[in-house]
Structure 1
C-alpha cells in the first residue's frame, strides 16, 4: 500500500500532523499549521471536512473537554465557527502542493467524502466516531483510494466489522486501521499499545496509532510496538481557545516526536532474527572454537584435558565439543592450534 507514493510498511513510519480544527476557522492560521507540519518533518497534514448542520443536531451537547475549552457556545455553534468552506479547503490543498506536503482530511458525511474524492486527495481519513457509520464507510470503500480508519471507542468485533466493509468492496488492500484512545488528552495508562498486536493478529492490513497523549515519546513507543502510521494533533499554541489544543503538540514538540518516531522505525527493523553485517566481524572475534589445549599427537584421543574452548571462532564450534571428545586426532596439533573437521578422525572404537 502507498500514500502519495510512499510505501506503508513495517520498515518505516508515515507521520500525519493533524491540524484538525486547530485553525479555529481562520485560513491564515490553517496555512501556518501547514508550515509548522512541514518544518516538523511530517509526511502529511490533516484537516476536517464537514457541514456543521449535517454533523450535529441543534441541541447536541459538547463533550466535557470541549465544554471546558469553549464554554459559551453550543457544539453546533462551535463547529460552525470552525467549518472550512470548500473553497478554503481547495486553497489549503494548493498550498500543501506548493510547500511539498500531503493534504489529508477527515470527512464526516458522504457529501464531504465525495468532495474530497473529486479533489483527488491521496487518502481519506475516517475518524473514530464514524467507525459504525456504515453508509460513510461504504462510500469511502467504493472510492478505490487509500483509506485510514481510526478505531477509538471500539471493540475488536466492531473493528473487524468495519474492516469487512472494505474487504467486501475489494479495497482492503488500500486500508490502514489506527488504534486510538478517544480521550483528550489521553492518559498514558489508557493508551494500551498492545491493542495494536491484537489488531495485527486479526487483520491482514497495516496497523497504526492515532495519539492523543501529551507525551512526545508516545508515538515512538507505538512505532516500536508495530505502528506503521502515526497521527498526532498539531497546534500553534496550546493556550489558544478551541477543543483540541490541549491534546495537541506545539511545533517544537511535534518535531521532536517525529524524530523519535523515525528513530524507532529504524530501530524496529525486521520481524526476524538475523546476523547484521556489522556483527559478522564481531562474531568471529567474540565467539569461540575448539583448540588444542596442549600438543596432541596424530592418533591421540581428544579428551577434556587436551581440548579447550577459546576465542576466536576458528576450527569447529563449541556445539561440537561433546562429539569431538573420544575421537582421535587425524593430524598432530600444537598448543592453540584450532581443531578443524580435518583434524578429527573417526570415534575410537571400543
Structure 2
C-alpha cells in the first residue's frame, strides 16, 4: 500500500471536522473537572475555548461508586466546600443529565463540539444519550478492556491517550478497540510534565507503528512551546487542559492553559500548519524579484505552475 493510501486511511470524522494528515489540526480544550462542579465555570470555559477557535471541549465522566476505591470512600479531605468524605467530593464535581443537557445546548449555541472521557461502562451509557462526536479513553483507562469493548460497540470515533503505558499495552488496547476508528494520542501522565519526560519523538514512533491511525498529542506540561513542537512533528490532534485561572483549587489547574494562553496556542498552531507546506520545492512569486536582483548566474529556468508559483525545471 502506498504512503498516499495510508494518509487517506489515517483520517477520522469528529463532528463536522476531519482529523488526520492533510486536514487542519483538531484542537480540544480539556475542561475535565476544572469546572469544580459549577455549571457557570463550565459555560465560561466553553466560551473561552470557542473564542480561541478550538474545535471542541472535553469533560470527564465518572460513576463515583465504581471509580473510587471502596477504602477511600470515607476518607475525609478539605475542599472549597468544607471538609467532606472523598466519595461525597467525587459526587460534588460530577454533572448530572440535566447539567449535560445544558452544556450540550450551550455548545450548540457557541458552535463548538463537546465530548468526554468516560471512566467506566455506566458512564459510556450515560454519554450515549447525547450525540457526541467521539469518546475519549483517558491514559489511566487504557488497560480497562471492558471499557474499551463497550466504547468500540458504540461505533463512535474513540480517542486513546497513551500516558503511563508500555508499547505492549498500547498495542493490546489498539487491538481491542480496532484500528479503523481510533485516534491515538502521545501523552505523558505527569501533572505538570517536565520537558525531559515529554519525549515528543514518540509521535514519529506511533506514526510508524500505526500508519493507518491519526496520531495526536495530549499535553500536560506548562507553557506552549512543546505543544507547538508536537504540531511541527506531525500531531494532527491536540488536547490541552484549560482553566479560568491556574491558581484555582483542583489537581489539574496548574498544568492547564489560561484564556490568553489558549488564544496564543490556537493562533500559533494555525500558523505552524500553514507554514509546513507539502515538501515540494518551488520558487514562489515573492522570490522572483530577489532572484532577478541577486542571482548572477541563473543556472536553472522556471516554469509557471498551476497553483501560481514557479517550479524548478532543468535548463537543458
Alignment partners' CA distance in 1, 2:140 and 2:69: 15
Which structure has greater strand proportion? 2
Q: CA deviation at 1:219?
A: 1.6
What residue is the counterpart of 2:297 in the other structure? 311
Contact 1:50/1:107 (<8 A) preserved: yes
Alignment partners' CA distance in 1, 2:110 and 2:18: 21
What residue is the counterpart of 1:240 in the other structure? 248
Whether 1:13 and 2:21 are equivalent positions in the alignment is no
Deviations 1:98-123 (A, max 9, x none): 11110111111112112222312111
What residue is the counterpart of 2:112 in the other structure? 101
Q: Structure 1 length as normaliser, TM-score? A: 0.75
Alignment of structure 1 residues 207-226 onto 2, 5 Å? 207-226=215-234
Whether 1:56 and 2:63 are equivalent positions in the alignment is no
Deviations 1:196-253 (A, max 9, x none): 1111111120100001011122221110011000000011111111111111111111
The Cα RMSD (Å) is 2.6
Whether 1:150 and 2:161 are equivalent positions in the alignment is yes
* Residue 137 of structure 2, aligned match among 92, 105, 126: 126
3-state DSSP class of the match of 2:69? coil
What residue is the counterpart of 2:8 in the other structure? none
Alignment partners' CA distance in 2, 1:286 and 1:114: 67
- The 1:99–1:155 alpha-carbon spacing in structure 2 relative to 1, beyond 3 Å, is same
* Residue 263 of structure 2, aligned match among 248, 252, 255: 255
Q: Which has the higher contact order (CA 8 A, sep 6+)?
A: 2
- The 1:184–1:313 alpha-carbon spacing in structure 2 relative to 1, beyond 3 Å, is same
Q: CA deviation at 1:130?
A: 0.5
Q: CA deviation at 1:46?
A: 0.7
What residue is the counterpart of 2:181 in the other structure? 174
Question: Which blocks of at least 5 consecutive residues in structure 1 are unaligned?
Answer: 62-66, 289-309, 316-339, 342-350
Q: Structure 2 length as normaliser, TM-score? A: 0.83
Contact 1:110/1:139 (<8 A) preserved: yes
Report which of the two structures shows the higher radius of gyration computed on alpha carbons.
1
- The 1:73–1:209 alpha-carbon spacing in structure 2 relative to 1, beyond 3 Å, is farther
What residue is the counterpart of 1:194 in the other structure? 201
Contact 2:64/2:91 (<8 A) preserved: yes
* Residue 237 of structure 2, aligned match among 224, 229, 232: 229
Question: Which blocks of at least 5 consecutive residues in structure 2 are unaligned?
Answer: 1-11, 302-314
Q: CA deviation at 1:27?
A: 0.8
Q: CA deviation at 1:79?
A: 2.1
Q: CA deviation at 1:74?
A: 5.8
